[in-house]
Homo-oligomer: A and B are copies of this chain.
Amino acid sequence: MRNFKFTLAYDGTDFHGWQVQPDRLTIQGALADGLRRITGESVMPQGSGRTDAGVHALGQVASCAIASSIPAANLMVALNDVLPAAIRVLHIEEAPAEFHARKSARGKSYQFRIFRGDICPPFLARYVYHHPYPLDEQAMVAAAAEIVGERDFTSLAAVDPERREDDGARSNVRTVFCSQWQRAGDESIYTVRGSGFLHHMVRNLVGMFVLIGKGSLRATDIARILQARNRSANPGATAPASGLYLVSVEY
């Protein structure tokens, strides 16, 4: 058996998320199906983490072992032939036997795109969160810095403690290496890089930062929200999936 590392980009709009589900179109299911069609083998590629329905990826990583002797480059061309155009394999390489896309991950980066203009172009509607109302960008920039470091992010996680985006440690402590808002044309873009992320953590962070941008929450409230270790302490909504991108996974 050879162990493979796959790097994938996908438009998550029309998928029921990463994780395979019976009778539903999922990224993991489509990839497994493609591998079966090409190699004849029933394998289940493991992702670096699950992405929810509608969430996109610029650099999701998956791994699995395959018996076939097909060269990696040929496998990539063949997969891109059989996969839907909304999923592209960007890179395939052989990896050491012990490599596992989720367990070996050391860090991840996400982006969240908010479209700020009055009219969201129809060609962006699937790829951003449209928020045409005023936001105090300076307050959001300052707030983003407040979450850098090792912290318990329970208050920023979905209330499904058994399910973690990265499925890794049992604790809800994660380290955020960098967290920042930037303006790019009509968009406000949030970039966050960390050791791992809880389920809904990035979307809940964005929801919290948007409340700060609106002025109904202050950056100084963040310490209290984190300390509560309870989702209900964070009054922000979970920002829509359409704006979220898994940018890259570090090993």
Show the binding face of A for B, using Cβ within 8 Å.
9-11, 56, 80, 85-90, 119-123, 125-127, 130
Contacts and interface: CB of A to CB of B under 8 A. Distances in A.
A125 B11 contact: yes
Q: Is the interface of A mostly helix, strand, loop or mixed?
A: loop
11 contacts: A9-B123, A11-B122, A11-B125, A80-B119, A85-B120, A85-B126, A86-B122, A88-B121, A88-B122, A89-B119, A123-B127
State the oligomeric state as a number of copies: 2
A61 B19 CA distance: 43
Contacts of A130: 85
Contacts of A85: 120, 122, 125-126, 130
Nearest to A57: B122
Nearest to A119: B88
A116 to B, nearest CB: 15
A221 B80 CA distance: 36
Contacts of A90: 119
A141 B10 CA distance: 34
A120 B121 CA distance: 21
Contacts of A121: 9, 88
A122 B10 contact: yes
Given A11-B123, A85-B122, 17 more contacts: A9-B121, A9-B122, A9-B123, A10-B122, A11-B125, A56-B122, A80-B119, A85-B120, A85-B125, A85-B126, A85-B130, A86-B122, A86-B125, A88-B119, A88-B121, A88-B122, A90-B119
Contacts of A80: 119
A11 B122 CA distance: 6
A126 B124 CA distance: 12
CB-based closest 7 A-B pairs: A85-B125, A11-B122, A86-B122, A88-B119, A88-B122, A10-B122, A9-B122
Nearest to A8: B122
A160 to B, nearest CB: 28
Given A11-B125, A125-B11, A88 B120 contact: yes
Contacts of A86: 122, 125
A162 to B, nearest CB: 31
